A = this chain, B = another copy of it.
Amino acid sequence: MNLLVTLDSKYIRPLKVMLTSLFMNNPDEHFNIYLIHSRIKDDEIADIERFIEKHRQKLSVIKIDNSYFQNAPEVFHYPKEMYYRLLAFKFLPQELDRILYLDPDILVINPVREFYNTKLDGYLYAAAYHDILAVKKINRIRLYPYKIEAYFNSGVLLMNLELQRKHVDEETIYSFVEKNRSKLIMPDQDIINALYSKQIKCVDEKLYNYDTRYYKYYKAITNNACDMDYIMKNTVFLHFCGRKKPWHKNYSGKFHSLYKQYEKWAITDAAT
């Protein structure tokens, strides 16, 4: 399976935790991991390489020269890395037909094979949206006049690279950013939603992009069906959304101890 990550140095440790959980819960799979970056130092790259090698998986590092994005508008303090996810198909080997993009603030707690094989006929992506009422409404207003039926979360994106090469256009993206600069909060996610939401295949957030902040909410709206048992058995991607991260000192949350356990294994490699 092809896996895509794009990050900077601050996220190397969460990346290792995410990958540890992926490997532990997909013991028989082989992953081709593509890391797109521009500013990670050589010794840090070497460290990531060692980590991946120890797990007998394959890493390809794609370093982007920022001159590439000379014409791309910047938004606030968001660096041009925000475009990597959107335009990954330009930098990845042309023979790849699909790839799974994952944010590093994720735990993978079940096999990913079924999701990876999702039929993508005619869709650019498969993704989940977080069905929290307030969030939906705010985004619909914010990104008006772009019609947002659902505001997809871009932390887990199964990408149809073949179709993206035909339909995703760099200039369209840049001009969207120029025009909406003041509205954008999470630029890459906003772009995907405003420009492509009709071409995103919607998948179940409880399975493929479980927002760890909303345990009680998910449980309530499913009549208690989506409890801890259900999650451990079925959920593939636990996404630690929001500003408070489980690797921060004063984090508190339902999946704190679980995250810390994987973090420990990521560091000690005791479980490999």
A228 touches B271 (CB 8 A): no
A25 touches B270 (CB 8 A): yes
Count contacts on A: residues with CB < 8 A to the other chain. Answer: 24
Q: C-beta contact mask, A27-56 vs B, less than 8 Å → 1, else 0?
A: 100000000000000000000000000000
- Interface SS, A side: helix
B270 touches A27 (CB 8 A): yes
The CA-CA distance from A185 to B251 in the complex, in Å, is: 37
Q: C-beta contact mask, A95-121 vs B, less than 8 Å → 1, else 0?
A: 000000000000001000000000000
Cβ-based interface call for A64 (8 A): no
B24 touches A264 (CB 8 A): no
The residue that A260 contacts in the complex, of B229, B251, B270, B271, with Cβ under 8 A, is: B229
Cβ-based interface call for A243 (8 A): no
The residue that A271 contacts in the complex, of B24, B231, B263, with Cβ under 8 A, is: B24
Q: C-beta contact mask, A234-272 vs B, less than 8 Å → 1, else 0?
A: 000000000000000111001111101101100000110
B228 touches A256 (CB 8 A): yes
| Cβ of A269 to closest chain B Cβ, rounded Å | 11
Among A227, A232, A255, max chain B CB count under 10 A is at A232
Within 8 A of B (CB), among A12-31: 24-25, 27
| Cβ of A239 to closest chain B Cβ, rounded Å | 14
User: Which 3 pairs from chain A and chain B are nearest by CB?
Assistant: A257-B258, A232-B260, A255-B257
